[in-house]
Amino acid sequence: MGIKIVSTGSYLPDKVLTNFDLERMVDTSDEWITTRTGIRERRISEVETTSDMATEAAVRALGESSPEEVELIVVATATPDAFFPSTACKVQAKIENKGAIAFDVSAACTGFIYGLYVADSIMRSKGVSKALVIGAERFSKIVNWKDRSTCILFGDGAGAVYLETSDEEGILGFDLGADGSYGELLAVPSVGSNEEFPYYVRMKGNEVFKVAVRTMVDSALRVLEKTGLSPKDISLLIPHQANLRIIRAIAERLGLPEEKVFVNLDRYGNTSAASIPIALDEALRSGRLKKGELALLVAFGGGFTWGSCVIKV
């Protein structure tokens, strides 16, 4: 038995916040942001909650498939609507499903790969045949809009994949891990800590940068080794959309040319756990990734966490 990504969907809020808008909010410039990150604009959710965005992405991924038949809903998010109920339970209610297993996964920007891994494992071992895995974030709510070193990076949005058991294998392998000793380099405290509200993203950007490149390259190489593949077998690298310089460094070390690397961070910034499923959806819809081709997904995030996955679409 295999597991296939049957369909995908994504949702981005309408409001666009450009680098020029940010120039009026903090001491920065379009030139600085574009050169250092590749980001030109990002989307900001004014009214949609994380679960609203997750639901819209899920509905688009489901297409004509019946929400009632979904047996498992996993939402990867660092910005849930509530401590509980989970975002997954909120999505479940909004798509009018009853009875599916539903829970959230917390692994920051690597959350979607972690979620995919958990769903894949449950489907293979517990006889679940239809699952939604969603990455959804409203980072605009946890960004300090006075901190120019972080507020320029993030955006809001959601992406979803619909998985079914299948005769064909669509999920070829994973590499996941974490190293909690790096926790303080990229963090958002919350109520369980001794820190005071408001809780904002804090980050040592240049230290994160170096570890991110090394860790994602290592993880990508490990998943290729585990699946018996080499970079030349990969039609499209879909990396977490954090920084264009990070993406280029990874592609260069894997020996992948620009046309084999998917980038949309210029339009959306870093949407954390939503970035890979949004990118995957866009890659499929635009024809950058075609039926039967292999894609390498690779992510890195707070924790630090990392994850890679090879899929055949």
Q: Which is nearer to ligand COA, 109 or 250 (CB)?
A: 109
8 Å CB contact between 272 and 154: yes
Cα–Cα distance, 267 to 68 (Å, whole number)? 34
User: Helices marked H in the chain — which ranges?
Assistant: 19-23, 30-37, 50-62, 87-94, 111-126, 148-151, 205-227, 244-254, 265-268, 275-285
Q: Are 311 and 171 in contact (CB under 8 A)?
A: yes
Task: Determine the residue with CB nearest ligand COA.
Answer: 205
- The residue type of 203 is M
Q: Closer to ligand COA at the Cβ: 22 or 132?
A: 22
97 given a catalytic annotation: no
User: Which residue in the list 19, 243, 264, 270 is annotated as catalytic?
Assistant: 270
Yes or no: say if 107 and 179 are a contact pair by the CB < 8 Å rule.
no
Catalytic residue among 19, 89, 109, 151: 109
- Residue nearer to ligand COA on the CB measure, 32 or 103: 32
Q: Which is nearer to ligand COA, 37 or 86 (CB)?
A: 37
* Binding footprint of ligand COA on the chain (CB under 6 A): 28, 32-33, 36-37, 109, 148-149, 152, 186, 203, 205-206, 208-209, 212, 242-243, 270, 300-301
CA distances to 1, 153, 294 from 169, in Å = 7, 36, 11
Output phi, psi for 43, to 5 deg. -100, 145
For residues 149 and 152, give the distance between their C-alpha atoms in angstroms, rounded to a whole number: 7
Residue of 89, 97, 240, 243 with catalytic role: 240
Cβ nearer to ligand COA, comparing 203 with 223: 203
Name beta bridge partners: 225.
none
Is 309 a residue of the active site? no
CB of 137 to ligand COA, least distance (A): 11
SS3 track for 232-271: HHCCEEEECCCCHHHHHHHHHHHCCCHHHECCCHHHHCEC
Query: Is 194 annotated as catalytic?
Result: no
Catalytic sites, residue numbers: 109, 240, 270
